[in-house]
Structure 1
Amino acid sequence: MSAIHSRYLHEMHQRFGQFACWPPNTPLKLGDVGVLRRDKFEKVTTLAELGVRSLPDETGAPVLLEYSSAGQVHLAVDGEAQASVLPSPVGGMVSISFGREGATFFQAVDAVRESITDLPKLEKALAPLRVRKIWKPEWAVVTSVQRTGPTMILVAAGRDTKVEFNVSADALGPSIPLAAAAVRAGFASTGEMAVRVLAADGTTPLFGAAQFRKRLTGTSLVYRTDKLQLTELGWDDLDADE
């Protein structure tokens, strides 16, 4: 895993508490099943294909998700510093400048979190598959995804790189997030980027996953090897060297 790749994944998990897809435009759905490593999710099958259906799920309200590497990303319109939501009637050449290799700008408009809400029920549904050894010990299941509208993900490949696009005040209408403006305008020029994603909608850049893990019992936190529990995975549960 490259240093840029690793930094992006770690920063996104710190900010949002979910794993970042790699590549960032990889499509995922609730119930996808596969092998999860820090650097990627390798899909193998789905819960539906395994015969598991109708699990309780919920959909959150649309929100604006934003992240930029602290002190390393600068937005400007015609050279004047600007926020990541452009107020009307601002228009002109919009630039996003990056101060170091791996610096990230992420913005997703109308992001909706979809989640499986009852892990104990899912665990019970998977129990027969484990007994029959259809469910593999290394498998994880996608339990949440962020489904987004207009999305822009930029990761600089080097220092002092810049992305530019030109928007007109007439095209903006009311204040508009930068990602939505970029989708309308398209890039005018870009510096050397490790990642450049610009999508109108349908992306799933963030997700959560669960896996059967050994239960901890007693005050000494002794592992019981005969008991496994379907547990949401965190950053420290994944081996970067796998």
Structure 2
Amino acid sequence: MPRIGESAQRRGAFITVEGGEGAGKSTQIARLAATLRARSGRGVCVTREPGGSPRAEEIRTALLGGLAKPYGPFAEALLFSAARIDHLDRLIRPALRRGETVLCDRFIDSTRAYQGAAGGLDPGVLDALERVVVGPTRPDLTLILDLAPEAGLARAAARAGGQGADRFEAETLDFHIRLRGAFLAIARAEPARCAVIDAGRDPDSVEAAIRATVAARLPELLPGEGTRGDAA
């Protein structure tokens, strides 16, 4: 049976991973991808936003370099949407039609949180962009890695190795506090889709919590894993 809002042509599963800076999304996506490749018997496509396709990666460079920042959150949201159109058309939708599991580092919730709640863009504008750009291609499961902003920014700075913060890492602590609140509000508003994972624990514990959540929410991806309930 097709999942939430999707056509019968869709055969794969779509999982997105969200959270603030330094929450460990890339690490945990890599671990989850390895588990699913070994256990699910399906192809696994790992991708990211902004980016994921050649044109979208070009837009990513501009966005993270801060080229759109002087024009405000609406201009940034438009650029994210342009990248998302190409990403969906060239990579995500074809992978889902092939029956693959798509793991995406950030998707619509990051636009809602960064340009919306933290950036001040009207939610109605973001809803309209989503209807046009995303349509029925909504995540089956969204894992929100929750971490105190101070800890996340410290991790991000250590990861950068002195190369300097990108456009979003360089925002004020107040921005990142609003960002965290936005992600948690999204999770409360859409509990059927979202699961909050405590990202302040060690990587192995976070991985175990994610695995338990995937097994509970999408048991066909981890056959025999059992239903142990969500992590948060």
Q: TM-score range by the shorter chain?
A: under 0.3
Give the number of the structure whose residues are more often strand, by fraction. Answer: 1
Give the number of the structure whose residues are more often helix, by fraction. Answer: 2
Q: Give the TM-score of the pair, scaled to structure 2.
A: 0.24
Q: Give the TM-score of the pair, scaled to structure 1.
A: 0.23
